[in-house]
Amino acid sequence: MTKVEKVDFVINTLEKIYPEVPIPLDHKDPYTLLIAVLLSAQSTDARVNTITPLLFKKADNPYNMIKLSIEEIREIIKPVGLSPMKSKGIYGLSKILIEKYNGKVPKDIEALEELPSVGHKTASVVISQAFGIPAFPVDTHIHRLLYRWNLSNGKNVTQTERDAKRLFPKKRWNKLHLQIIYYGREYSPARGWNLEKDIITKTIGRKSVIKEQLKK
């Protein structure tokens, strides 16, 4: 199977399994999505979705957020982990959004990356999911799967993102990155992986990965 055929197989398979892909983090606008994505670092979407209603009840916009102290924010978001850094980031970026962007989340990825605690992946998620601008955020699932599928050498997420953008049509990036995340969680997890259920890896996967899995 050529690389083009592999890419087509991935797209067609994911489209059959996940014709619709809801955004996994609950939000109502770009600001609440930005906060939710920031909170999801080294946490699960499910856990974040239990905490954001508590936070957004008190502050669902930057103006109300800076009325809270960093300590108050930290107390609410403790269960998602890394709360000292995240609470400072939430307060700091909210202040900058008011001072620099009239309280609005910018649609520009470079501007987003300049905000406290906002890295490239978080910025990519926001521009793709909040504004529909093509991006290919690479999380651990996408990084793992593109390596397993022999579509990237898996050295780092930057390389994986570059490979993904090169291989997949731009018009599909926003939906596809969500489809791969859902597929990774359901069929190709890091632990408890059953190759028989993982039709994509079984069909196009890296031979060394398949061989190693069959030994287990």
**Could you give the 3-state DSSP secondary structure of residue 170?**
helix
Q: Which of 129, 144, 169 is the last residue of a domain?
A: 129
pLDDT at 88: 98
- At residue 22, the pLDDT reads 94
Of 129, 161, 180, which residue constitutes the final position of a domain?
129
DSSP assignment of 71-129 equals HHHHHHHGGGS-HHHHHHHHHHHHHHHHHHHTTPPPS-HHHHHTSTT--HHHHHHHHHH
Both 51 and 74 in a single domain? yes
Say what the pLDDT of residue 214 is: 83
- Asked if 150 and 71 sit in the same domain, the reply is no
The per-residue DSSP string of 6-58 comes to: HHHHHHHHHHHH-SS---SS--SSHHHHHHHHHHTTTS-HHHHHHHHHHHHHH
Can you give the pTM of this predicted structure?
0.92
Q: Are residues 106 and 90 in the same domain?
A: yes
Which pLDDT value is given to residue 39? 98
Domain co-membership, 165 together with 84: no
Q: Kindly name the residue from 6, 60, 86, 139 that is annotated as catalytic.
A: 139
Domain boundary among 97, 129, 161: 129
Query: Which pLDDT does position 120 carry in this prediction?
Result: 95
- Domain range for 179 is 3-21+136-215
**Cα atoms found within 13 Å of the Cα of residue 26, Cβ hemisphere only:** 12
What is the mean pLDDT of each successive set of 10 residues along the chain, which is 216 residues long? 95 98 96 98 95 98 98 98 97 98 97 97 97 95 95 92 97 97 95 94 94 83
From the list 121, 163, 211, 215, the catalytic residue is 121
Does residue 108 carry a catalytic annotation? no
Q: Is residue 121 annotated as part of the catalytic site, yes or no?
A: yes
